[in-house]
A and B are shown apart, each in its own frame.
Chain A
Amino acid sequence: MTHLTRLALLSAALVASSALAQTKQVIGVSIPAADHGWTAGVVYHANQAKAQLEKQYPGAQIIVKTAKDANEQANQIQDLYTVNKINALVILPQESAPLTRPVANLKNRGVFVTVVDRGLTDPKAQDAYVAGDNTGFGRVAGEYVARQLGPNGGNVVVLRGIPTVIDNQRNDAFRAAVAKNPKVKILDARYGNWNRDDAFKVMQDYLTRFPRIDAVWASDDDMAVGVLRAIGQAKRTDIRLVLGGAGMKEMVKRVMDGGDKLITANVTYPPSMIADAMRLTVESRMKGTPMKASTIIPSVLVTKENAARFYFPNSPF
């Protein structure tokens, strides 16, 4: 009898303590500093998610840190572990290779690791992966351009981002999707570095070089801004379509309002994916449920009909 009670008491205490441990969770979030539109959106959505999740789960403490480069980020996650004693880490790595070792280190010491968007070079360094769909981003854009140009096809020029794996994936998927319409011709694809000024210059040169352009895949909303200005300056009327991407609020607004003839759609690559990753991680930690090893946030075509769902007027992006 006493033996049984003691056992019951002990197991009750164990359950209680493990339940207590589960309700006390410190989650570190390490993301790049706001150095351009998209990362600014990431910082905004991370802070929004922190406020919302801490309200929803009073036992969770979320610490958001931003880093300007890979080195700073590596130091930062070390501090999160030793000073803040985090149980889980949600990280959007500045660069894949230099951060793989430091992240693996934390995982080996028992920290649950969720990697977002830019993968690490060794997937064993992470427990879960949440990412945007780069192939889908290019495919959805290519399908839309091919569809809008119709059976008669047309000439397309492409602005690429910065030479990276992500950009190659997007560009290859776009070409593959467009190739299904044999009448569509891609005239050239050049780097605009995800930057308005560079895109402006590249577009100016395209306009000089090609007398007839039907559609522009700017592949990013910042670049679309530069492209539109260059077209306006050259007073060209042959261009029927400019497709950006990533969901900048000004561009989504234009799609929503429907007044702009060139900007009729957008393709999402949402900076809010950091919020999704944080929500999934916190839920899994607080409830003790497993998290899917890989979650891909699909790239969606934004049109006049669904644009309101993707419009965040308070976000800086």
Chain B
Amino acid sequence: MSTPSPALRPTEGPSFLGRLGRLGPLLGLLALMLVATLLNPDFLGVSNLTNILTRAAFTGIIAVGMTFVIISGGIDLSVGSLAALIAGSMILVMNDLVPSLGAGWATIGVGMLTALALGALAGLFHGVTITKGRIEPFIVTLGTLGIYRAVLTYLSQGGAISLDLGVSERYSPVFYGSLLGIPIPILVFALVALLGGLILNRTRYGRYVQAIGSNEQVARYAAINVTGVKVATYMLLGVCVAIATILYVPRLGSASPSTGLLWELEAIAAVIIGGTALKGGHGRIWGTVVGAILLVTIENTLNLTNIISVYLNAAVQGVVIILVAFFQRGERR
């Protein structure tokens, strides 16, 4: 670990195998890319690689927030439902604003702020219920997983909530546009990951998160505001979900009960593949980023070839996930 926590200090330097294991996700991704290129040379095309990174951006951004929550010893199962609810709510708000504010950036701005506020509020609710209410994070977020999606289904009457066409037109560059040739979702993903890495490894808050995850009691004795830090991790994740949703809405211009389905598992899988311990204590943002890209790459590779029966797609995904975890088991104790 580059940032030793007060509670856990490794006594010996990492062995060769340990060091190799730390690169597990990256090696896994490179191996997968090699296989994909052999199967279909189009894999390395710029447009395909951009597609992969853009798709990875959604769960990747959420996974960056999830890394904090998991390192602190928590979990959040509700992110997929929350993304769907935020998407639906911000579309409804924007549609309502069109008559008064017009179909311009003012409306979109309010929509984005609504998303961020909802994300932060949901995170605040999770954090407070978990710390002050002393309920397991698994239970709290299992509850909200059902609540958020049910509310969205209710709002949409089970159908789709579609964005006003004018707003959709104006908003679409946020997903489809690019800056210096790089699509906006990839830029935002990179920025969020960079900020996440800085916060985790270079700030006092980041160290507190790791300390709490490795031993909450010791952290309390060290006079760390455990409640405050934990609530902040859930709010951080809520904001990440909101950012991902802000990028997601212009893609299809609609939200439906199937929006964001199973994103929570994808985000958690990305974090774990990236080498963060599910029991908390330590982890790394770059690993999470690689994990998110790896997950999308598996799916993309399978779609680019015809060798494996489509019935077995999920099995191949499972095998690759377990293999990557196997390669990096050396560093877990």
Q: Is the CB of A190 within 8 A of B310?
A: yes
- B149 vs chain A, min Cβ distance (A): 9
Given the complex, which residues of B lie within 8 Å of A202, measured CB to CB? 303
**A174 contacts chain B at the CB level, 8 A cutoff:** no
Give A206 to B305 CA distance when docked, in angstroms. 10
Given A188-B306, A208-B48, A209-B303: A44 in contact with B157 (beta carbons within 8 A): yes
Q: Which one of A48-56, A109-117, A226-234, A237-245 contacts B?
A: A226-234
Residue of B whose beta carbon sits closest to that of A163: B311
Question: Contact mask A188-223 → B, CB, 8 Å, 1/0?
Answer: 111100011100111011101100000000000010
Instruction: Indicate if B162 sits at the interface (CB-CB under 8 A).
Output: yes
- Residue contact A34 to B176, C-beta cutoff 8 Å: no
With CB as the reference atom, state the residue of chain A lying closest to B45.
A208
Contact in complex: A196, B299 (CB < 8 Å): no
With beta carbons under 8 angstroms apart, the residue of B42, B47, B158, B304 that contacts A316 is: B158
Contact (A197, B258) CB under 8 Å given A35-B153, A163-B311: yes
Number of A-B contacts defined by CB within 8 Å: 89
Interchain nearest-CB distance for A198 vs B (Å):
9
Q: Which of chain A's residues has its CB closest to B311's CB?
A: A163
What string of 1s and 0s marks CB contacts (under 8 Å) between A45-67 and chain B?
00000000000000000000000
A40 at the interface (CB under 8 A from B): yes
**A36-B256, A209-B304, A234-B47 known; A250-B158 Cβ under 8 A:** no
Cβ–Cβ contact A209 & B40, under 8 A? yes
Contacts of B158 in A (CB 8 A): 33-37, 39-40, 43, 316-317
Q: Which residues of A contact B55 (CB under 8 A)?
A: 201, 204
A interface, over-half SS: helix
Q: Tell me if B254 and A225 are in contact (CB < 8 A).
A: yes
Q: B-facing mask of A295-317, CB < 8 A → 1, else 0?
A: 00000000000000000000111
Which residues of the other chain, B, contact A234 by a CB distance below 8 angstroms? 47
How far apart are A36's CB and chain B's nearest CB, in angstroms? 6
Contacts of B37 in A (CB 8 A): none
The 8 Å CB contact of A205, one of B156, B303, B310, is B303
> Does residue B251 face the partner (Cβ distance < 8 Å to A)?
yes
Q: Are B257 and A34 in contact (CB under 8 A)?
A: yes
Q: Does B139 touch A at the CB level, under 8 Å?
A: no
A34 touches B258 (CB 8 A): no
Please determine whether A206 and B254 come into contact, CB atoms closer than 8 angstroms.
no
Closest to B304 in A: A209
State how many angstroms separate the Cβ of B15 from the closest Cβ of chain A: 40
Q: Which of B258, B306, B313 has the most CB of A within 10 A?
A: B258
With a cutoff of 8 Å between Cβ atoms, the chain B residues found around residue A226 in the complex are 252
Q: A196-B258, A209-B304 are in contact. Are A34 and B51 (CB under 8 A)?
A: no
B215 on the A face (CB < 8 A): no
Query: Is B199 close to A, CB under 8 A?
Result: no
| B45 contacts across to A, CB distance below 8 A | 208
Residues of B within 8 A of A34 (CB): 153, 157-159, 257
Q: How far is the CA of A228 from the CA of B295 in the complex (A)?
A: 24
> Given A195-B258, A316-B156 in contact, is the A225-B303 Cβ separation under 8 Å?
no
Cβ contacts under 8 Å, B300 to chain A: 201, 205
Q: How far is the CA of A39 from the CA of B71 in the complex (A)?
A: 40
Residue of A nearest to B51 (CB): A204
Q: Which single residue of chain B is at the shortest CB-CB distance from A196?
A: B252
Bound together, the chains give a CA A233 to CA B176 distance in angstroms of: 7
Does B259 touch A at the CB level, under 8 Å? yes
Q: How far is the CB of A237 from chain B (nearest CB, A)?
A: 15
Cα of A220 to Cα of B306 in the assembled complex, Å: 23
CB nearest neighbor in A for B305: A209
* Residues of B248-287 whose CB lies within 8 A of A: 251-252, 254, 256-259, 261
Contact A200 B304 (CB under 8 A): no
Whether the Cβ atoms of B252 and A205 lie closer than 8 Å is: no
Nearest B residue to A234 via CB reads B47
Give the contacting residue for B257; candidates A35, A189, A190; CB below 8 A: A35
Confirm or deny: B27 has a beta carbon within 8 angstroms of a beta carbon on chain A: no
Do A37 and B159 touch (CB < 8 A)?
A: yes
- Give chain B nearest CB distance to A259 CB in angstroms: 13
- A206 contacts which chain B residues (CB < 8 A)? 303
**A316 adjacent to B159 (CB under 8 Å):** yes
- Inter-chain contact B303/A36, CB cutoff 8 Å: no
State A199–B254 Cα separation when bound (angstroms).
14
Beta-carbon contact of A209 and B42 below 8 Å: yes
Question: CA–CA, A216 to B299, complex, Å?
Answer: 20
The A-contacting residues of B in range 123-176, CB under 8 angstroms, are: 153, 156-160, 162, 176
**Residues of chain A with a CB closer than 8 A to B313's CB:** 191
Q: Are A250 and B252 in contact (CB under 8 A)?
A: no
Q: Which residues in window 151-170 of A have CB below 8 A to B?
A: 160, 163
Which of B47, B257, B310 is in CB contact (< 8 Å) with A36? Answer: B257
A201-B300, A205-B48 known, 7 other contacts, Cβ within 8 Å: A35-B153, A40-B159, A163-B311, A197-B252, A208-B42, A208-B47, A225-B254
9 pairs of A and B residues whose beta carbons are closest in the complex: A34-B158, A40-B158, A316-B159, A205-B303, A316-B157, A40-B159, A208-B48, A195-B258, A204-B51
B interface vs A, CB < 8 Å?
40, 42, 45, 47-48, 51, 55, 153, 156-160, 162, 176, 251-252, 254, 256-259, 261, 299-300, 303-304, 306, 310-311, 313
Show 26 A/B contacts (Cβ-Cβ < 8 Å), sorted by A.
A34-B158, A35-B153, A35-B257, A36-B256, A37-B158, A37-B256, A39-B158, A43-B157, A43-B158, A160-B310, A191-B313, A195-B261, A196-B254, A197-B252, A200-B251, A202-B303, A205-B304, A206-B303, A208-B48, A209-B40, A209-B42, A233-B176, A315-B159, A316-B156, A316-B157, A317-B158
